[in-house]
Amino acid sequence: MTLQFSCSGLDVPENVRTQLADDDVAARLVAKDATLWGPEAESEASIRLGWLDLPASSRELVPRLAALRAELAGEGLDRVVLAGMGGSSLAPEVICRTAGVPLVVLDTTDPGQVAAAMTDLDRTVVVVSSKSGGTIETDSHRRAFLAAFAEAGLDEEQAGRRFVVVTDPGSPLADTAAAMGARAVFLADPNVGGRYSALSAFGLVPAALAGVDVEPLLDRAAELAEQLAEQGNPALELGIALGAGFRTGRDKVALADGGTGSGRIEGFGDWAEQLIAESTGKEGRGLLPVVLESVDAPGSAAHDALLAVVDGDPVEGRPSVGVSGPLGAQFLGWEYATAVAGRILGIDPFDQPNVTESKENTARILDAGLPDEQPAATIGAVEVYGSGGVLDGVDLSSHDGLRLVLDALLAAVPPRGYLAVMAYLDRQADARAGELRAALARRTEHAVTFGWGPRFLHSTGQYHKGGPQVGAFLQLTGATATDLPVPDRPFSFATLQAAQAAGDRQALADRQRPLLHLHLTDRAAGIDQVLGALG
Ligand SMILES: O=P(O)(O)OC[C@H]1O[C@H](O)[C@H](O)[C@@H](O)[C@@H]1O
C-alpha cells in the first residue's frame, strides 16, 4: 500500500487546484523544475531537489549498511548513539521509534542528558551526522565522546573506530573524520537539504546500524514516486490541502499520530514539524506546525488550524486531513506536499534565512560572557524574567504570582497568534515539562507549541523569527546539577546551553515579542510549580 489521502470539511478554493493543474506543477516538480518557486528561489531550488531521486539512489546504501552492521555486531558494538541536530536526527528517530528499535538521539546541549548518553561505552558506536559539518552541538558531542572513549582506555585508533560519520562531501566534518580515523564515512547527496534528507544517508545510516531493515522504506517511497507526476496524486492533494488551509485562514497545521496497533508510525509530527516550519515560515508568513499528543488533544479543534492525522483518517465534522500509508511513502509524500504548499504560499521552501540569527547571537554571547540579569521575582523554585511588556502590571508579590504571570502571557497572544513553549531542559529527566503544552492549550483558544531547546532552534525557530510576528513565548531554563566540559573548547555544555537560550531571547526581544523566561532553580520542583499554577 502506498500513500492515501482523504479529507473532511475542508474548503479548497477551486482556483488553487486549477492553477496547479494549469501550471503542470506535479510533472514539473518530478522533472525538478527549479523555476516553480519564482526567480528569487531558483538558484537555491536548482541544488535542492535531489530528494526526488532518493528512493532509487539510496539503494546502494543498503548492502553497505548491512555489512557495516554485521562488522559492528561482530565486535560487540550494538548500542548506537546518534549526534545530530534537526534534519540530521529527526528522521532516524521516527524510523527507529516506529520500528521499536533503540537509538539514543543526542540533539541537546543539556549536560545531564549528554552525560546520561555516555554510558555502556564498551558496546557503543557513535554516528556523527551533520550536513554542513559545522553545527556546534554536534561537534561538541563528538568531542565529548572522543574524550570519554579515551578515558575508558581506548587508544586513538580504537576510539576513532567507534565513530561513523555522515556528512556532505567537502565539509569540515569530512576532514575531521579522516583525521580521527572514523570507521566509516558516508558522504550524502549535497543536492538534498537537511529537512528533505529522511531517505538519504542521514535517515538511513543511523537507523540501519541500530537494527532497522531500511529497504522497505525505499520500496514504499519508490511506489509513491511513480505516481508523483500525475494530477490527483495523494501528495499533491496533501499539498493542496496545506495551501488551501493557508488561503482560508487555517495557517496552523495540528499534527497527530493516528495509527493503532503494531507497525503504527510513532512521533511523525516531530519530523514533519521541522519540514513545515523551516520550509514555509519566512517573509512574514508560513504554516505553523503544532504537534499534538493525540488526535483529541487540546488544540485539535482550533478555529485557525487544519488537523492532519498521520497514519489515520480525518475526523468527521472537523476540517481535517488523513494521510495513511507506510513511513517511507509518508516521508516522500510530505516533502512533495511541502514543496507544493511553498508554491501556493509564494515562498522558497528550501532556504531557512532566519536560523543563523540565534546562532550568531549565541556565538557573540559565548565570546562576551553570559548576560547578567536579575529576576523580577523569585517564586519558590522559579525565577521570573520577562520582556516585551509581559510583566507589566503583574503583581509578582501575590501568593499566586506565577498564575498571574502565565495569565498575562496568555493574554499577550495576539489574534490568530500562538504561544511557543521552549524548554532548554533534559528531555528524558525533565520529560514532565512536555505536559505544559496541553496544560496551556486548555486555557486558550490559540495554538500552543512545545519544543525542546536547542533542538527547536533548527526547526520551529525559523518560523518564530521569519514567520508572522504573532507569537508569544515561554522560555524555560534550569539549574545544572553537574556540568560537562566540551573538550578543547572555551565553554562547557551548561554555558553553551545558557548562551543558546540567551541568544534566542535576544532574537525575540529584538522583535519586541512578549517573552516570559522562567528559570527553574530546582527543575523537578519548578516544573511542578508551573504545572500547578495552570492546574
Ligand atoms: O546537518 P547540519 O548541517 O548539522 O544541520 C542541522 C540543522 O541545522 C540548521 O539549523 C538548519 O536550519 C537545519 O535545517 C538543519 O537540519
Query: 202, 355, 356, 465: which to mutate for ligand 1, most atoms within 8 A of CB?
Result: 355
Measured by CA distance, the residue closest to atom 12 of ligand 1 is 458
Between the CA of 233 and the centroid of ligand 1 the distance, in Å, is 30
Q: What is the pTM of this model?
A: 0.98
Residue 465 in contact with ligand 1 by CB distance below 6 A: no
Between the CA of 6 and the centroid of ligand 1 the distance, in Å, is 32
Whole-number pLDDT of residue 350: 98
Q: How much is the ipTM here?
A: 0.99
- What CA–CA distance (Å, rounded) separates 381 from 190? 47
Between the CA of 458 and the centroid of ligand 1 the distance, in Å, is 6
User: Which residue ranges does the chain devote to CATH 3.40.50.10490?
Assistant: 4-31+229-345, 54-219, 355-534
pLDDT digits (tens, 9 = 90+) for 179-189: 999 999 999 99
Helix 268-280 to helix 90-99 angle, to the nearest 10 degrees? 160
Residue 194 in contact with ligand 1 by CB distance below 6 A: yes
- Work out which ligand 1 atom sits closest to the CA atom of 352: 12
Measured by CA distance, the residue closest to atom 7 of ligand 1 is 86
Element (H, E) at 518: strand 515-520
**Superfamily covering domain 4-31+229-345:** Glucose-6-phosphate isomerase like protein; domain 1 (3.40.50.10490)
Whole-number pLDDT of residue 228: 98
- What CA–CA distance (Å, rounded) separates 214 from 70? 15
Question: What are the Cα distances from residue 265, in Å, to 93, 96, 97, 298, 514?
Answer: 11, 10, 8, 21, 36
Whole-number pLDDT of residue 1: 78
Residue 358 in contact with ligand 1 by CB distance below 6 A: no
- What CA–CA distance (Å, rounded) separates 451 from 475? 10
- Work out which ligand 1 atom sits closest to the CA atom of 167: 1
CATH node for 54-219: 3.40.50.10490
pLDDT digits (tens, 9 = 90+) for 17-76: 999 999 999 999 999 999 999 999 999 999 999 999 999 999 999 999 999 999 999 999
What is the SS3 assignment for 299-333?
A: CCCCCCEEEEEECCCCCCCCCEEEEECCHHHHHHH
- Work out which ligand 1 atom sits closest to the CA atom of 87: 16
Measured by CA distance, the residue closest to atom 14 of ligand 1 is 194
Cell numbers 519548578: residue: 526
**Do 228 and 280 form a contact (C-beta atoms < 8 A)?**
no
- 164, amino acid identity: V
Written as nine digits, the cell of 424 is 532548554
Give the count of alpha carbons within 13 A of 286, CB side only. Answer: 33
Mean pLDDT by 10 residues, the chain (535 residues): 94 94 98 98 97 98 98 98 98 98 98 98 98 98 98 98 98 98 98 98 98 98 98 97 97 97 95 98 98 97 97 95 98 98 98 92 96 96 98 95 98 98 98 98 98 97 98 98 97 98 97 98 98 96
Between the CA of 193 and the centroid of ligand 1 the distance, in Å, is 9
For residue 255, which of 304, 300, 286 has the smallest C-alpha distance? 300
β-strand 515-520 against 382-387: which pairing, if any? antiparallel
What DSSP string runs through 364-426?
A: HHHHH-------SEEETTEEEEEETTTTTT--TTSTTHHHHHHHHHHHTSPTT-EEEEEEES-
Query: 44, 51, 82, 88: which to mutate for ligand 1, most atoms within 8 A of CB?
Result: 88
- Work out which ligand 1 atom sits closest to the CA atom of 355: 12
Question: What are the Cα distances from residue 521, in Å, to 42, 234, 496, 527?
Answer: 49, 49, 18, 10
Arch. (CATH architecture) of 355-534? 3-Layer(aba) Sandwich (3.40)
Whole-number pLDDT of residue 154: 98
Residue 89 DSSP label = T
**Do 322 and 6 form a contact (C-beta atoms < 8 A)?**
yes
**3-state secondary structure at position 211:** coil
Question: What are the Cα distances from residue 529, in Å, to 39, 64, 402, 442, 444?
Answer: 52, 51, 8, 17, 19
Based on C-alpha coordinates, what's the Rg of the chain?
23
Residue 458 in contact with ligand 1 by CB distance below 6 A: yes
For residue 164, which of 141, 186, 136, 134 has the smallest C-alpha distance? 186
Element (H, E) at 238: helix 234-247
Q: 460: how many CB neighbours lie within 10 A of its CB?
A: 28
Residue 361 in contact with ligand 1 by CB distance below 6 A: no
**Polymer length of the chain:** 535
Measured by CA distance, the residue closest to atom 13 of ligand 1 is 458
Written as nine digits, the cell of 176 is 575531521
Whole-number pLDDT of residue 342: 98
Instruction: Kindly tell me the sign of the dihedral angle through the C-alpha atoms of 33, 249, 307, 433.
Output: positive
Give the count of alpha carbons within 13 A of 211, CB side only. Answer: 15
Residue 130 in contact with ligand 1 by CB distance below 6 A: yes
For residue 518, which of 432, 425, 393 has the smallest C-alpha distance? 425
